[in-house]
Amino acid sequence: MIAAHHHVVDGTRLQTDQRLEADVLIVGTGAGGGVAAELLAKSGLRVIMLETGPLQLGRDFNMQEQRAYNRLYAEGANLATADHGIAILRGRAVGGGTTVNWTTSLRTPDQTLGYWVNRFGLAEVSAEKLAPWFDWAERRFNIKPWGIAPNANNDVLRSGCARLGLQWAVIPRNVSGCANLGYCGMGCPLDAKQSMLVTTIPGALEYGASLYVRTRAWKLEIRRDRVEALIAQALDAKSINPTGVTLRIRATHYLLAGGAIHSPALLMRSHAPDPYRVLGKRSFLHPTSTSLARMPTAVDGYYGAPQSIYSDHYQWPDGAEGPAGFKLEVPPIHPGLAAGIFGWHGRKLAAGMQDLPRLNILLALQRDGFDEQSPGGEVQLQGDGRGILDYPLNDHLWDGVRRAWHAMAEIQFAAGACAVMPGHLGGEFDTSLAGIRAQIDRLPLAPYQAALFSAHLMGGCGMGANPRASVIAASGRHHQLENLTVVDGSVFPTSVGANPQLSIFAHSARITTGLVRELKSGALPDMP
Amino acid sequence: MVPGPGLRLAAATGRRYFALMKWAISEQDAREIRSFDPQRRRFLGGLAGAAWLAGTGGVVSGCSSANVLRVPLAAAETRVLRMLAPAILHGLLPAQPAARKDSLDELLAAVSTSVSSLSSASREQLARLLAALDYRITRWLLTGLWKPLHEATVAEIDAFLHNWRQSSVGRFNLAYRTLTRLLATNWFALPANYRQSGYPGPPSWPAGKSAMREA
């Protein structure tokens, strides 16, 4: 637990400009930064962590949607891609996404790693070489397949797949003493979720690291091939606007873990060398479509572990490339979130919502970045200098969305649904599979009409052997900057094809351990 | 020639309307509008005017909403949202006037909190949309309603929301999603309205919570 004797500074309260020094400066406290901070501090290095969001602890988490979205998510959970075509849930508080995610902890699929090895020359990340790092992360964060029966919402996916003979499996979760409440997305009120907030960040602080919250990394001062300093802005109480107080931090090494929008954006604002124009490109987000079902009995999808079952039946239809594959999961069904997914108004909204206890929702997370037709999006800088993700929607993606609606509807009816509806402005509940299939084929596939979401931001600082086609090397080191390393989800050269947190844990541990051994030979003997 | 005050006012007003239309009509939408098939989907007459505005290429920047952006929700914005709420939340608001007002106050306070979490870029886009609904000409172009929103019936507002939802012009779908989501999400997330969705609310946990923490 973060305790009173730990060195935590709230940027909002700073009155004067600061000059700080550290061995390693870490930007971001999510899955990547959190893992790195503890390892670095444990090895005896002086560590400073910067976090844009606020520090919110378990006792602050009261299971109220509005409070959680406003305090713990970027833009109060109203973030979206540049043209608003895809809504983005992105954590923004100490612990980053790990504070608010739904605890799904899946390893990077072997097919994805095989693709990275072959396509990006990344022999260092083969399934065999990464296995000890996954083992380490699973021990550190108590990751185990969920041992309690799935809630009825997840059971729709399980039983539907089972009846149709489709693959399904139990999801491993990073929890300890979980009471199966179902409020992981609003911050765990029991500190049962093994997020960075209750594991590595207190760990790093205990080893003497410092944490600056409501402090935004704004610009790197770069001279030739080295970073000389980082300029950060202290932020107001909402973690939005700068107060005017700045921090200038000098470090031997700089570690970026601000996530797949902010790590590329920080490098862009700083005019970091990018001789081959690859920075910020190939950004991915598992574009996610939805299918809603009215079940015959109560589902109560607001209670119980939010995600405990997944299906990869449609994930690798033709190997890694070709038509988009998708992973099937479910979201928790709280009223605010559900009202947003309905995308309706008036009587129709009221009628849809009054059946909330019987509502099941399936999600199809599309695996983007594996085919020429799936180049992903691009991080750009807005007028105010902040990063935004431009993600064009193309026919390859829409084809995946349509197939996913068909697959989800079939599973929901197989599980006994009374009526099913695709997540689309023109969607209508239909009581027959034939009817819903006709509707799905008829619905126009256009931005804003089809509801698309993402909770997984990846890429933009892609890893690769070839500096002409990637931003960082397999070691995590920037190809052109010798004292800058990236450890967050932005390093992935494609989307992961699974919820990314465990992949980020493993890569951050692997990259950071290599860095520590370089900066302090002989340290971290118990790491793989 | 120095333009007279009347002309200057007209020019300033015109610039303002054009700037508002910048929200409503992008290049891509202009293409969609040109390919719009009135036989296939009827839309409000205002659309032709909107297309004309876009087609003139007279879209200029400079809609200064700086004052608006400093407060969570400006008075005019709150007014617009208050007028939209009875249509978006049809049948959900209390009928009794005092209870209805309290309910709307609580909703608008929640919306205001949401809005204060937006980045300045998102905030400005929302400000443009709400301003466009507040100004007569842009409102007419976007919704077909010449009269102020507070004089419009729930049925009239419901009708333009339907048109926005079913439009083949992306920006109308986006405006629909933005406004319905802002109001509906906040409405159903309010504890006072849990019963309308049948949501029993979070488990009551404080006792168990402290017990667990001490263990």
Q: Is the domain of A50 the same as that of A190?
A: yes
Number of domains in chain A: 2
Closest chain A residue to B26, measured at CA: A83
Q: Is the domain of A170 the same as that of A189?
A: no
CB B180 within 8 A of CB B88: yes
Domain end call among A406, A434, A451: A451
Q: Is the domain of A340 the same as that of A418?
A: yes
Q: Is the domain of A167 the same as that of A187?
A: no
Q: Is the domain of A322 the same as that of A339?
A: yes
List, for residues A212-248, the tens digit of each pLDDT value: 999 999 999 999 999 999 999 999 999 999 999 999 9
**B165 and A CB contact within 8 Å:** yes
Q: What is the mean pLDDT of residues B205-212?
A: 48
Task: Output the average pLDDT for chain B.
Answer: 75
Give residue B10's pLDDT band: very low, low, confident or very high (50, 70, 90). Answer: low
Q: Domain for residue B207, yes or no?
A: no
Give residue A371's region: left, alpha or beta (phi > 0; psi -120 to 50): beta
Q: Is the domain of A314 the same as that of A439?
A: yes
**A346 and B CB contact within 8 Å:** yes
Q: Is the domain of A27 the same as that of A69?
A: yes
List, for residues B79-116, the tens digit of each pLDDT value: 999 999 999 999 999 999 999 999 999 999 999 999 99
Q: Domain for residue B211, yes or no?
A: no
Neighboring chain B residues of A63 at a CB cutoff of 8 Å: 202-203, 205
Neighboring chain A residues of B83 at a CB cutoff of 8 Å: none
Closest chain A residue to B180, measured at CA: A345
Q: Check residues B21 and B3 and name the one with the higher pLDDT.
A: B21
List, for residues A312-327, the tens digit of each pLDDT value: 999 998 889 999 999 9
- Nearest beta carbon to residue A347 from set B90, B168, B205: B90
Least reliable range by pLDDT among A248-252, B45-49, B172-176: B45-49
Q: Is the domain of A320 the same as that of A246?
A: no
Given a cut of 60, is residue A343 above it in pLDDT?
yes
Return the SS3 of A407. helix
Nearest CA-CA distance, residue B173 and chain A, Å:
6
Number of domains in chain B: 1
Q: What is the mean pLDDT of residues A17-41?
A: 98
Q: Is the domain of A204 the same as that of A265?
A: yes
Inter-chain touch B89–A349, beta carbons under 8 Å: yes
Best of B112, B177, B195, B213 to substitute, by most chain A Cβ atoms within 10 angstroms, is B177
**B23 and A CB contact within 8 Å:** no
List, for residues A486-523, the tens digit of each pLDDT value: 999 999 999 999 999 999 999 999 999 999 999 988 78
Neighboring chain A residues of B117 at a CB cutoff of 8 Å: 69-70, 75-76, 78, 238, 240
Q: Domain for residue A323, yes or no?
A: yes
pLDDT on residue B8 = 53
Q: Domain for residue B25, yes or no?
A: yes
**A343 and B CB contact within 8 Å:** yes
Task: Output the average pLDDT for chain A.
Answer: 97
Q: Domain for residue B121, yes or no?
A: yes
Q: Domain for residue A2, yes or no?
A: no
Q: Domain for residue B151, yes or no?
A: yes
Percentage of chain A beyond pLDDT 70 is 100
Per-residue buried b or exposed e for A128-161, using 16+ beta carbons within 10 Å of the residue's own CB: ebbeebbebbbebbbbeebeeebbbbbbbbbbbb
CB A146 within 8 A of CB A278: no
Q: Is the domain of A66 the same as that of A195?
A: yes
Q: Is the domain of A418 the same as that of A515?
A: no
Neighboring chain A residues of B159 at a CB cutoff of 8 Å: none
Domain holding B169, by residue range, is: 5-197
According to DSSP, the β-strands at A242-256 and A484-486 are parallel
Q: What is the mean pLDDT of residues A372-391?
A: 95
Give residue B72's pLDDT band: very low, low, confident or very high (50, 70, 90). Answer: confident
- Nearest beta carbon to residue A384 from set B121, B198, B205: B121
Q: Domain for residue B204, yes or no?
A: no
Neighboring chain A residues of B190 at a CB cutoff of 8 Å: 66
Using alpha carbons, select from B190, B191, B144 the residue that is nearest to residue B164. Answer: B144
If one counts every other C-beta atom within 10 angstroms of the C-beta of residue B153, the result is 11
Cα angle at A320 between A341 and A150, to 5 degrees? 45
**B69 and A CB contact within 8 Å:** no
Inter-chain touch A356–B198, beta carbons under 8 Å: yes
β-bridge mates for residue A363, sequence order: A290, A329
Domain holding A292, by residue range, is: 152-174+288-367+394-451
Which whole-number Å values give the CA distances from B156 to A210, B44, B84, B162, in the listed order?
58, 12, 10, 10
Q: Domain for residue A294, yes or no?
A: yes
Q: Domain for residue B206, yes or no?
A: no
pLDDT on residue A383 = 87
pLDDT on residue A138 = 98
Q: Is the domain of A326 the same as that of A206?
A: no
Specify the CATH number for the domain of residue A331: 3.30.410
Per-residue buried b or exposed e for A186-200, using 16+ beta carbons within 10 Å of the residue's own CB: bbbbbbbbbbbbbbb
Given a cut of 80, is residue B42 above it in pLDDT?
no
Q: Domain for residue A527, yes or no?
A: no
Inter-chain touch B180–A183, beta carbons under 8 Å: no
Neighboring chain A residues of B185 at a CB cutoff of 8 Å: 336-337, 339-340
Q: Domain for residue A528, yes or no?
A: no
Rounded Cα–Cα distance for residues A256 and A406 (Å): 40
Domain end call among A408, A435, A451: A451
pLDDT on residue B13 = 53
Inter-chain touch A346–B177, beta carbons under 8 Å: no
Q: Domain for residue A525, yes or no?
A: no
List, for residues A160-171, the tens digit of each pLDDT value: 999 999 999 999
Q: Domain for residue B157, yes or no?
A: yes
